[in-house]
Structure 1
Amino acid sequence: MGTAKKIGAIALLIGAFAGFDLAIYGFFTKRCIDTSSEEMKCYSVELHRYMPFEEGSEAVKADTELRLSGDLPVLDGAAALYPVFSGVVNSVYPEDCVHFENGEFTADSALHYTNTIGAYKAVADGDADIIFCAKPNDEQLAYAEEKGAELEMVPIGREAFVFIVNERNPVDGLTSEQVRDIFSGGIKSWSEVGGEHLPIEALSRNKGSGSQTTMDKFMAGREQKQSPFGIFGRSIGYSFRYYAENMTDGGVKLLALDGAYPDREHIADGSYPLASSFYAIYRRDNDNEQVPVLIDWLLSDEGQSLVEQAGYVPID
């Protein structure tokens, strides 16, 4: 083989290994940054897609006669649940309550978006009345206790925690133990789980995010480790189902876990092993009289219909 051909063959080989999953990278790796940063606000969710009261918005609207006015509860929450709480505002709040300037909600807006970490801080500090999130981690609970905030957590819907790969990855499902082995470094190649002879890049999320808190619990004490050779193979990441399916640019697929695919049916019947509730959370000492009104509405048939319209699974 001539020198030029050898160089070409080597270049192709390097390109094949270096061409790891750009879809996962774009969806996932870019988001492994501080959720309070301007980059995170930009990347986490396209806020304009679900902006209340705007023409062409994807924010859902419940069929209800409830209309809140006066001292409106300030809402905040996780990126994965933004379609729910933006839909609440779109359904029962007055149109002049949302203020958005220079790419973010202003301090006087009834709708905020600071993601999980910021939302738990906001409710503990009294800057938000109700937040929409998965369960807090120990640090978030400790911060609330430090602030004298006893949190009331009301389940209002169900969602699935999912594992994500590039749509070209031939692996369609894993067992829970395989996933733990992958993320703790015990399984390093996709060939060990029925895939290609390529390294696995197991990506992690930023500490304190809803997805990372859930992943920490799933790992049951096992430390997440990344292979130095992972960037030459195929990636695997994790998030929540709705976020992965509806709030990304595509190019990814969700994996079945322990034989169950994370669709609405398997979330509702409990056969998908990582289905869990999400919550409307507020301080028990919050004296805003509209807070219990809104919580009761969220638990009503109308509120649960909104949860379903937004793409999530209502509570039983």
Structure 2
Amino acid sequence: MSAETRTRAARLTGRRVRQGASLASASLLLSVALTGCAGSAKAGSDAIQASGSTTVAPVASDAAEALKAKGLDITVATQGGSAGGISQLGAGQIDIALSSKPLSEEDRKTYPGTDFVPTQIGADAVGVIITREVADGGVKGLSKAQVAGLFEGKITNWKEVGGPDLPVFVYDKEPGRGTREVLDKFIYGEGEAPAPPKSANYAIVGGNLETRTKLKSTRGSIAPLSTGFIEGHPDLVAVPLDGVAPTLANVTSGKYPMTRPLFMITNGKPKGTVKQYIDYILSPEGQKLLPEHGYLTREQMGL
């Protein structure tokens, strides 16, 4: 990938790489609270429990940490991704669902007793991420048809798309993850994605940290991943899609095809300490947290 594209990543993200223990140990759980996990919401308590998307969780965790000084007790977990957070909220187990995908009608039908109210806190660009070896070997971009062929297991060697003679290894997201829904929409529109290929070179991964680790440790690998998670990792590259790179201008204009909103979802309108928490993230101070993780603010998205 060219120096221009690497600069694009820096422009888009503007983030510092966070390698601290709170994220390194957070592939399954990011906890900034004092006690508890996303098991059951505490009726009548000021403690807040949020769970869901591994994309939204870093921002939610940073905000929770900032509010600890004001006495708020907040637990942020990543259990089951966006779909897991929505189902936990529907079951009354948590106060806030973290989601990198919009609510569906199926979500509302599944939990008719829950008044899902989404609050968009920002946005994120999802990239089709490949290894530096593959990019330097000739893969400077991919078409929609090529992306489909790779994830469907029809393209099995990078030389088929202008790259090195190296087997393709696909790391895909599990169903319900917001990242996978964005990829499916790009490839198939409103159509249904085919069943995963039966291949030894295909595996399902969960959160963003796990995905990044797998990409970095596997030659010839490819995966959908938030572009913010590869900043500071020059061995990974977000390729342009149909000739469009995920630059700030392309994302905010809607030209880049794989952009997703980031939500905090509540049962009913936020109130009390939950409202205080969400209001902080929506405030100028809280919005500064988004670029630190490679995400776009509400202002950048024109919200």
Equivalent residue for 2:209? none
Distance 1:47 1:172, change over 3 A: farther
**Corresponding position: 1:197 with 2:165:** yes
Cα gap change, 1:149/1:189 in structure 2, threshold over 3 Å: closer, same or farther? same
Deviations 1:207-244 (A, max 9, x none): 22222233333332241543647479822211222234
Q: Separation in 2 of the partners of 1:95 and 1:112?
A: 21
CA shift, 1:176, in A, is 2.0
Secondary structure of 2:125 counterpart: strand
Letter in 2 for 1:197: D
1:149 deviation in Å?
A: 1.2
CA contact (8 A) 2:28 2:77 kept: no
RMSD over equivalenced CA pairs, Å: 3.4
Q: How does 1:52-91 map to 2 (within 5 A)?
A: 71-91=46-66
CA contact (8 A) 1:183 1:224 kept: no
Bigger Cα Rg:
1
- Consecutive unaligned residues in structure 1, runs of 5 or more: 1-40, 54-69, 99-108
Q: Given the two structures, how large is their TM-score scaled by the length of structure 1?
A: 0.64
Q: Normalized per residue, which structure has more helix?
A: 1
In 2: Cα distance, 1:284 partner to 1:187 partner: 46
TM, length-normalised to structure 2: 0.66
Q: Do the aligned partners of 1:87 and 1:306 also contact (CA within 8 Å) in 2?
A: yes
Could you say which residue in structure 1 is the equivalent of 2:147?
Answer: 179
Contact conserved, 2:130 with 2:239, CA < 8 A, in 1? yes
Contact 2:86/2:98, CA 8 A, preserved across alignment: no
* 1:130 partner letter: I
Matched residue of 1:161: which SS? Answer: strand
- Aligned match for 2:75, one of 96, 106, 110: 110
Q: Distance in 2 between matches of 1:136 and 1:309?
A: 23
Equivalent residue, structure 2, for 1:226: 197
Equivalent position to 1:93, from 52, 68, 71: 68
More relative contact order, 1 or 2 (CA 8 Å, 6+ apart): 2
What SS class does the counterpart of residue 87 from structure 1 fall into? Answer: helix
C-alpha separation in 2, matches of 1:172 and 1:311: 22
Which structure 2 residues correspond to residues 1-316 of structure 1 after superposition, within 5 A?
44=27, 47=30, 71-94=46-69, 110-114=75-79, 115-135=81-101, 141=107, 145-146=110-111, 148-169=113-134, 170=137, 171-220=139-188, 221-226=192-197, 228=199, 230=201, 234-245=220-231, 251-284=235-268, 288-315=271-298, 316=302
State the shift of 1:179 in Å: 0.7
Contact persistence 2:182–2:260 (CA under 8 A): no
User: How far did 1:314 drift?
Assistant: 0.4
In structure 1, how many angstroms separate the alpha carbons of the residues matched to 2:283 and 2:219? Answer: 48
Cα distance, 1:304 vs. partner?
2.0
**Count of residues in Structure 1 that have an aligned counterpart in Structure 2:** 244
Distance 1:262 1:140, change over 3 A: same
